[in-house]
Amino acid sequence: MAQGDLELNAAALTHAYLLLAQPEAGYAAAMRLAQTMLCAAPEAAQRPCGTCPHCRKAAKGIHPDIITVARLSDDKGRPKREIYVDQIRALVTDAVVLPNEAERKVYIIRDADTMNAAAQNALLKLLEEPPRFVSIVLVAASPAPLLETVRSRCVTLYTFGENAAPPAEARERAERFLDYAATGAKISLLSFTNECADLGNAEMTDFVTAAQLMLTDMLCGRLPDLRMSHRRMAALLALLRTAQEYLRFNVSTKHVLGLLAVDAANGE
Ligand SMILES: [Zn+2]
């Protein structure tokens, strides 16, 4: 993929996230992400502040601009098997209406992997061109049931969930990489990539996974922010996702490092 394409995609994708996690943990993370997006704190690094009116309402689950779509219940109170197209049509219609109180509104789709094909197709147009004040977070245990057209329009986020955290070494590397990427420190990035040139595929994959997890945590307001904009974090996530794909297809570590270094050095 040409670098320009990647940036273009990432920029266009900031409004749609696919959060891969177990249902309960994933929903909690999506709520934190929504809170971060609506928080009124002036500095990005302070969000979510926990004290502004938006944070308080979000934490109580009563913010009118955080809208959750979930499977309906049957008459015995059990969740139905699918999210239906009518539910998504209602969401799409609601999405053109301005937010009630916040600057933006966030739609969280729980168990998004249970949307049937018609429902996913109904969502596509909104994922492509959401109104500027709309963000959409799909929470899914697995990306497999989602159409490629849906997946490709979302920035994928991970949570640790039931997987083991990456090794400490990988996390330390990820921290340094994100730190350099945040400031666009070209020389540091260069020496960092030189240092990593001898890593094997497994170690490199651990590092890339750790960086994705860290960015997800930052987006969800669980780690101190590195003073990166939301858009920048989303762009880096898209970049790391590409790196992960390359590694899966055994592209050489050096090639992947080159991709990471060049794009990360470009900064905002
Ligand atoms: Zn706040």
The reply to whether 110 and 29 lie within a common domain is yes
Spatial strand order of the sheet with 105-109 comes to 66-69, 105-109, 134-140, 16-20, 155-158
C-alpha distance across the termini of the chain, in Å:
19
Ligand 1 centroid vs 187 CA: distance in angstroms? 36
Could you please report the per-residue DSSP string of 19-50?
EES-HHHHHHHHHHHHHHHH---SSGGG-S-S
How far, in Å, from the CA of 41 to the mean position of ligand 1?
A: 5
What is the pLDDT averaged over residues 219-240?
76
C-alpha of residue 59 to centroid of ligand 1, in Å: 10
Question: Could you tell me if residue 206 is left (phi over 0), alpha (psi between -120 and 50 degrees) or otherwise beta?
Answer: alpha
Cα-atom radius of gyration of the chain, to the nearest Å?
Answer: 19
CA 29 to centroid of ligand 1, rounded, Å: 16
Q: Which of 158, 184, 212 is the last residue of a domain?
A: 158
Residue 163 falls within a domain, yes or no?
no
Domain count, the chain: 2
- The whole-number pLDDT of residue 156 equals 84
Which tens digit of pLDDT belongs to each residue from 112-156? 999 999 999 999 989 988 898 999 999 999 899 999 999 988 888
Ligand 1 centroid distance, CA of 32 (Å): 11
| Nearest residue to 128 (alpha-carbon basis) of 118, 140, 136 | 136
Distance 28 CA to ligand 1 centre (A): 17
pLDDT given for residue 224 in this prediction: 61
- H helix and E strand count, the chain: 11, 5
Q: How far apart, in whole angstroms, are the C-alpha atoms of residue 7 and residue 12?
A: 9
CA of 49 to the centre of ligand 1 (A): 4
Question: Which range among 33-47, 80-94, 218-232 shows the weakest confidence by mean pLDDT?
Answer: 218-232
Instruction: Give the domain CATH number at 24.
Output: 3.40.50.300
Tokens 């949570």 locate to 159
Q: What are the backbone angles phi and psi of residue 19, rounded to the nearest 5°?
A: -100, 110
Q: How far is CA 183 from CA 51, 180, 229, in A?
A: 29, 5, 11
- In DSSP terms, which residues pair with 105 in a beta bridge? 134
Q: 97 and 143 share a domain? A: yes
pLDDT in tens, 21-74: 888 888 988 998 899 889 998 877 778 889 999 999 999 999 999 999 999 999
- How remote is the CA of residue 58 from the centroid of ligand 1, in Å? 9
Distance from residue 52's CA to the centre of ligand 1 (Å): 4
CA–centroid distance, 48 to ligand 1, in Å, is 5
Rounded distance, CA 196 to CA 258, Å? Answer: 11
Whether 173 and 130 map to the same domain: the answer is: no
Provide the CB-side half-sphere exposure for 138 (13 A, CA).
31
Q: How far is the CA of 53 from the centre of ligand 1 (A)?
A: 7
Q: Which residues face 108 on adjacent strands? A: 68, 137
Query: What integer pLDDT is reported at residue 80 of this predicted model?
Result: 94
Q: Is 222 helix (H, G, I), strand (E, B) or coil?
A: coil
Range of the structural domain that residue 211 is part of: 168-265
Ligand 1 centroid distance, CA of 57 (Å)? 10
Q: Looking at residue 31, what is its pLDDT?
A: 92
pLDDT single digits (tens) 149-194: 999 888 888 775 545 678 899 999 999 999 888 887 888 988 999 9
Q: State residue 14's pLDDT score.
A: 65
Are 42 and 133 in the same domain? yes
